[in-house]
Amino acid sequence: MTYKVIGKRVRRVEDPRLLTGGALFVGDVNLPDMLHAAFVRSDYAHAKIISIDTSSAKEIPGVVGVYTAEDMGEAWEPGPPLVSPPPSLEGVTFNSCRQVPLVKDKVKHAGEIIAVVVAESRYIAEDAVEEVYVDYEPLPAVTDLEKCLEPGHTLVHDELDSNLAAHLVQNKGDYEAAKKEADLVIKRKFKLDRGAAAAMENRGIVVDWDQKNQHLMVWDATQSPIPIRNGLAGRLGLRTHQVRVVAPFVGGGFGPKIMMFYAEEMVLPWLTMKLNRPVKWIEDRKENFYATTQEREQVQEVEMALSKEGRILGIRQNIIHDTGAYDPYGLTIPLNTQSHSMGPYDIKNYSSELSVVFTNKIITTPVRGAGRPQGIYIVERMLDIACRELELDSRDVRRLNFIKPDQFPYDHEIIDQAFTNLVFDSGNYQPAYDKAIEKIEYDKFINEDQPRLRAEGKYVGIGVVPFIETTGVGPYEGARVAIEPSGKISAATGVGTQGQSHMTSFAQIIAEQLSVEVEDISLVSGDTAEIHWGTGTFASRGAVVAGNAVLAAASDVRKKVLKLASKILETPEDELELEGGQVRVADIPDKSISLGELAVLANPFRGAVEPGTEPGLESTKYFGPAYGATAFGVHGMILEVDPETMMIKIHKYVTVEDCGTMLNPLVVEGQIHGGVSMGIGNAYYEKLHFDENGQLQNASLADYLIVGATEMPHIEVYHQNTPAPNNKLGTKGVGEAGAIPVPAAFAQALENALPNYDLEITETPLSPNRLFELLYRQED
């Protein structure tokens, strides 16, 4: 390929519209005659509904209707099971309880929808919401992950005989045997609490049923437009061609915008078809805390067996994972936790029991990291604790245990989130780890800086944590690439954008194949009218799965170009070259033809295309990997803590990332920066506080603390490239990487900063208040 643009720091083609206020977000869609919806949500986490009085709400001028589950009649139907495990999986208990559009009998979490108001304006709709009177019979709330499994405990789902949503045991080797060999066995209990994705754009959906064309138009701030289209068609008894779902610019996803179906996504299409008018609902920030899925809540008991040299002989783990009130997302998060609980280490014996429980809290589905941070947190914390007991340098112990380059592909002999064997495709861990140690100047810090600063009364500490990230899972994605008569390229893929720069990095792949400028390529992502098949943007898979589909389609178009050009220029294909939108004969520059002219010739108006050839210079291809690509990284931080005020300042932050081939380093760095900011939130700022009655106590950005510019350190990003062997581009995902190791590195640094407090951290997120309790509990 003469023209190289993959791997260049190309500035984004999507930016001018976003920077001038010209990009379309769902909230910007305003249609003539449009109605506005607002929802009546339960104040109670768990309660029987005795009666709903909508009469006075209906009286309010401007209110078009107020509807409850009863009004939906036949259309009332729970959401689909999104990813429940295949029956083929042995020894798995799974009780599928799916979320409902409007609650019929019993509310199962605060914020669940009881009724919907439709009015001429959002203001009026919210007036009416306050006039809907619901009579509840409050029930005790199920909130404690451990207690909720005790016999006789209140049930979230009365049809089940316990609050157990799922149960599964994964074994590798023989942990009990390994334990007998061990010189040291440590056991700890971990508490990992809830956080919110808190994308700056809340969710939203605008629906418009066209009676005459029998067509449903949907604008949805979703990460998965195609499955939404398919699901809606099914629910509404329509053909897929009767439903078009557009995910325009989406203001951040981070996981929860994958979830389907949200109750609102089930209710609004029903409303527009019933009322024959467009209907709009934009989630407000308070609803976002009550209605949008969350993550990370687990309680774990972990045992680690080691030799006196620090070799990890085995890990035993008992995970209780909170799925919230329903479990549409199956086992994805906890399976990821298991997949990451052995970290980047060669561990022969692993035994993990997983119990997923229902609680009267908001549903949990993947949030940037999706179970991975919990796995990395426990294995890295256990290693730090073990190293203290064995009086070994934790750096040597990590190096000793890393999976070695010649061990790849490394089969972990357990199943991953895709229900296939967990196999690490490739990796080269120690050089990246050593690079991080070098860049953060570990030895200088320990030998010079820390003693000096401590003498000045400053409490500074260092933490360095390696991690893996399973990325690029299937099933598949597709892409369409076409050369237009203008010579410009149009392309489409099903993975929408929530900021991942698809319109640029995918264009780079095409540009390289067809030797055109990135600006000449217009890529549509997230419009079901442009491509029929696909799943969505999640699990750090865009660059891997969609990226390689784009490559396949583009190189196929290149083939078609060369084939046609060789016929027209009467020159063998291998003597042709593409450059600047032209196909030329290698050594005869003026013997050439433009891509545009070729596109016209490929679509004749008279005559016939040759048998066996398709019209147009266009191709649609799909890519589905056998198993994912495993990325690797190391994060290190130096922080200072004031043990009087519990205030923290991170002075230095270093990351080394190995995500294989980088399509656009600028974009990769941006992804890492953002991930780290969420990780710092998960470490010290962001916690959703539920009380024992299932009431969320900080449903606002004033009390749920997203990390701001003043809390963020400057981040140094370094790269290592171990290309993924199982895809042509060699890409591995990086979207979630930044968030994964931060709480573990933070805990290590904090303990290192406060040696004289015998501080052992086994929970995240921490907070000044919690740190105060940990440091001063002895004195109480």
Partner 1 sequence: MDNTYELNVTVNGTSYQETVDPRTLLSDFLRDGLGLTGTHVGCEHGVCGACTVLLNGEPVRSCLIFAPQVQGQEIMTVEGLGTVDDMHPLQEAFREAHALQCGFCTPGILTTLLPWLEENPNPTEDEIREAISGNLCRCTGYQHIIDAVKLAAEQMN
Partner 2 sequence: MKPAPFKYYAPHSIPEVLDLLNEHGYDAKILAGGQSLVPMMNFRLVQPAVLVDINFIPELSYIETHDKGVRLGAMVRHSQAEKDTLIKEHAPLIHETMPQIATVQIRNRGTIGGSLAHADPSAELVVVSTALEAQFKIQNQKGERLIPASEFFVGLLMTSMEPEDLLVEVQIPPLPSGSGWSLKEVARRPHDFALMGVAAILTLDKKEICTEARMVYLSAGDGPISAPEAANMLIGNKITNELITAAADKAAADEIDPGSDIHATAEFRRHLANVLTRRALEEALQRAKDEK
Partner 3 sequence: MKVEGEHLFNGNQQQVWDLFRDTEVMAAALPGTKKMELVGENTYEAVMNVRVGPVAGEFSGQLVISNEDHPNSYTMTVDGRGKPGFLKGVGDVVLTNQGANQTLMGYTGEVQIGGKLAAVGQRLIDTVAKSIINQAFETLDNALEERGKAEAEGRKADYQQSSEGDYAATVAKDLIKNVLKRKDSEES
Binding site for partner 1 (CB under 8 A): 11-12, 14-23, 25, 27-28, 30, 123, 198-202, 249-254, 282, 284-285, 497-501, 666-667, 669-678, 700-702, 706, 708-710, 712, 714-715, 738
According to DSSP, the residues that pair with 459 across neighbouring strands are: 641
- Residue 176's CB is within 10 A of a number of other CB atoms, namely 12
Cα gap 55→66, rounded to integer Å = 9
Q: Does 673 bind partner 2 (CB under 8 A)?
A: no
| Count of helices and strands (H, E) across the chain | 20, 30
Q: Please state the φ and ψ torsions of residue 378, each to the nearest 5 degrees.
A: -70, -40
* 126 versus 144: smaller Cβ distance to partner 2: 126
Q: Choose the contact partner of 110 out of partner 2, partner 1, partner 3, none; CB within 5 to 8 A by kind.
A: partner 3
Binding mask 757-776 for partner 2 (x = CB under 8 A): ----------xxx--xx--x
Q: Choose the contact partner of 604 out of partner 3, partner 2, partner 1, none; CB within 5 to 8 A by kind.
A: none
- The two structure tokens encoding residue 40: 């009546």
CA torsion, ordered 517, 521, 525, 530, to nearest 10 deg:
-160
Q: Choose the contact partner of 277 out of partner 3, partner 1, partner 2, none; CB within 5 to 8 A by kind.
A: none
* 28 versus 575: smaller Cβ distance to partner 2: 28
Q: Does 685 bind partner 2 (CB under 8 A)?
A: yes
Q: Please name which of 479, 485, 523 lies closest in space to residue 616, comparing C-alpha atoms.
A: 485
Q: Please state the φ and ψ torsions of residue 518, each to the nearest 5 degrees.
A: -55, -35
- The two structure tokens encoding residue 466: 């390696």
Binding mask 286-325 for partner 2 (x = CB under 8 A): x---------------------------------------
- The two structure tokens encoding residue 721: 């490239």
3-state secondary structure of 442: helix
Q: State the nearest-atom distance from the C-beta of 151 to partner 2, in Å.
A: 32
Stretch that binds partner 2, among 121-129, 301-309, 338-346, 374-382 (CB under 8 A): 121-129
Whether omega for the bond prior to residue 765 falls within 30 degrees of 0, making it cis, is yes
Q: Choose the contact partner of 11 out of partner 3, partner 1, partner 2, none; CB within 5 to 8 A by kind.
A: partner 1
3-state secondary structure of 321: strand
* 62 versus 616: smaller Cβ distance to partner 2: 62
Burial 198-208 (b: 16+ CB within 10 A, else e): bbebbbbbbbb
> Which amino acid is residue 417, in one-letter code?
Q
Q: Choose the contact partner of 295 out of partner 2, partner 3, partner 1, none; CB within 5 to 8 A by kind.
A: none
* 71 versus 711: smaller Cβ distance to partner 2: 711
CA torsion, ordered 637, 643, 646, 652, to nearest 10 deg:
-20
3-state secondary structure of 420: coil
Q: State the nearest-atom distance from the C-beta of 286 to partner 2, in Å.
A: 6
Q: State the nearest-atom distance from the C-beta of 402 to partner 1, in Å.
A: 28
Q: Which residues bind partner 3 (CB under 8 A)?
A: 43-45, 110, 130, 138, 286, 289-290, 689, 691, 693, 695-700, 702-703
Q: Choose the contact partner of 756 out of partner 3, partner 1, partner 2, none; CB within 5 to 8 A by kind.
A: none
Q: Are 501 and 664 in contact (CB under 8 A)?
A: yes
* 603 versus 698: smaller Cβ distance to partner 3: 698
* 304 versus 771: smaller Cβ distance to partner 2: 771
Q: Choose the contact partner of 200 out of partner 1, partner 2, partner 3, none; CB within 5 to 8 A by kind.
A: partner 1
* 285 versus 399: smaller Cβ distance to partner 2: 285
Q: Are 149 and 355 in contact (CB under 8 A)?
A: yes
Q: What is the DSSP string of 47-114?
A: EEEEEEE-HHHHHSTTEEEEEEHHHHGGG--PPPPSSPPPTTSTT-EE------SS-SSEE-STT-EE
Q: State the nearest-atom distance from the C-beta of 650 to partner 2, in Å.
A: 14
Q: State the nearest-atom distance from the C-beta of 644 to partner 2, in Å.
A: 4
* 123 versus 388: smaller Cβ distance to partner 2: 123
Among 159, 574, 702, 756, binds partner 2 (CB under 8 A): 702
Burial 280-318 (b: 16+ CB within 10 A, else e): bbbbbeebbbbbbbbbbbbbbebbbbbeeebbbbbbbbb
Q: Which residues lie near partner 2 (CB under 8 A)?
A: 122-123, 126-127, 130, 284-286, 644-645, 647, 685, 689, 697-698, 700, 702-703, 705, 707-708, 710-711, 767-769, 772-773, 776
